Amino acid sequence: MKTLGIFAITIFSVFLFKDNYAQNLKHSKIASQLKTEQKTSLKKAESIIEKADKKLSKADDIEEVYQKLSSSKKKRKLKRWEKKTWESKKNRISAEKDYQKAYQLAFDVYSEVINSDIYFVEEDEEKAKALNSEAEVALIESESEMSKYSKKKSKKTLKKVIYDKLKGDLDKSRKLKEEALSKQFLALDIVLMQEKKRIMDGKDNSAWYYAKNYATVEGYEEYISKFPDGKYVTQARDKIQKIQKNPKKDLETEDTEGNMGTTKTNFENTFKVQIAASKGVALSKNRLASIYSNVSEIEEVFIKGYYKYRIGAFSNYQEAAELKKTLKRGIKAFVVVIDKEGNQVEITHEMKKKN
């Protein structure tokens, strides 16, 4: 019964070990952002993992046969254990080398993603790339732990290898690989946050631009309510104080109309970002929401048979261009300029340079 108990624990450990490797190589949330060749590399890594798992299973089968010898306290039987399990040692070394190859493939794929130019926040880029560098160091150390087993060992040599020493080396190598992957996963989580931060920043900018253009206490208070940690909260509070101290003073006052956020300003030229257009048929709010989430801030105009949809209202080109940068990828947006009469005019080189 005692042997059976040990055997059951051993088999259970093996299954946990196999599942751990099969799952750890995948970061499910980043999959949609991978290129075809990167997905192919990860599939290759998974195939190598499967091959390594089979080698471990074979090693376990061999050790099961000689389980009684390993549990003996007699030196003679333990020596027999070391000799009889030489093939098990061979399979475990070979499996760990396969794992090293698989983790290296995964590392290379994820490094491409982490080191690409996709960051919205500079501090996030520094943190993600630092984590990736730490992962690289751990992977190199893992390979170093395996270096003593890099050369093919003969049956005679493997019989002399102490099983516990071998297991300790392989376990250390494995933990370093897992540490490397864990650090990369943290870096990938940072990468995934960039699009969310870009969208939130766009909403923050847009809400502030509208509050600033309306220039009312209510407008600034609404901005603070929606974005209590927004970039412009301090400015909004300052504006409120100025209006309350001198309510008659014109603080860039604008009139508004209720047609889906249509905005008039008192700028000589007003720069906006056009995010969509439709010939003859107005776009539904659901369709517009898929392009820009805050539908109430979208201006709809009908010009020469086209419905055009715009956001923002700025006094200079640079601010409109910054808002355009915050939009989701894939949205074909561009800056337009409207004169005081409401006509769209051509953007000149001077307009782009003027602040």
- DSSP letters, 293-333, are S-GGG-EEEEETTEEEEEEEEESSHHHHHHHHHTSPTT---
Place of tokens 């030196």: 75
Q: pLDDT value at position 237?
A: 93
- Looking at the predicted structure, is the pLDDT value of residue 259 above 80? no
Beta bridge partners of 263: 256
Of the two residues 38 and 280, the one the predictor is more confident about is 38
Q: For 155-199, what is each residue's pLDDT tens digit?
A: 888 888 888 888 889 999 999 999 999 999 999 999 999 878 877
Of the two residues 225 and 294, the one the predictor is more confident about is 225
Q: pLDDT value at position 315?
A: 83
Of the two residues 336 and 329, the one the predictor is more confident about is 336
Q: pLDDT value at position 150?
A: 81
- Looking at the predicted structure, is the pLDDT value of residue 39 above 90? yes
Of the two residues 287 and 190, the one the predictor is more confident about is 190
Mean pLDDT of 34-51: 93
Q: What is the mean pLDDT of the chain?
A: 80
Domain range annotation of the chain: 2-198, 215-245, 269-353
CA neighbor of 273 nearest in space, from 322, 341, 214? 322
Mean pLDDT of 253-257: 40
Q: For 97-142, what is each residue's pLDDT tens digit?
A: 999 999 999 999 999 999 987 787 889 999 999 999 999 999 999 9
Beta bridge partners of 311: 273
Q: pLDDT value at position 279?
A: 86
Mean pLDDT of 323-347: 80
Q: pLDDT value at position 72?
A: 57
Q: pLDDT value at position 122?
A: 87
- pLDDT bracket for residue 19 (50, 70, 90): very low
Of the two residues 128 and 343, the one the predictor is more confident about is 128
Whole-number Cα distances in Å, 184 to 20, 142, 300: 16, 15, 44
CATH class for the domain made up of 269-353: alpha beta
Say what percent of the chain tops pLDDT 90.
30
Rounded CA gap, 345 and 335, in Å? Answer: 11
- Looking at the predicted structure, is the pLDDT value of residue 281 above 70? yes
Rounded CA gap, 271 and 187, in Å? Answer: 37
Q: Range with the lowest mean pLDDT among 26-30, 71-75, 141-145, 319-323? A: 71-75
Mean pLDDT of 198-212: 76
CA neighbor of 159 nearest in space, from 250, 68, 81? 81
Q: pLDDT value at position 69?
A: 63
Mean pLDDT of 285-303: 78
Q: pLDDT value at position 109?
A: 96
Place of tokens 């690409």: 116
Q: pLDDT value at position 225?
A: 93
Q: pLDDT value at position 249?
A: 55
Q: For 46-56, what is each residue's pLDDT tens digit?
A: 999 999 999 99
Length in residues, the chain: 355
**Surface-to-core class of residue 161, CB atoms within 10 Å of its CB (0-12 exposed, 13-18 middle, 19+ buried):** middle
Whole-number Cα distances in Å, 50 to 9, 47, 98, 226: 22, 5, 9, 50
Place of tokens 């003679």: 76
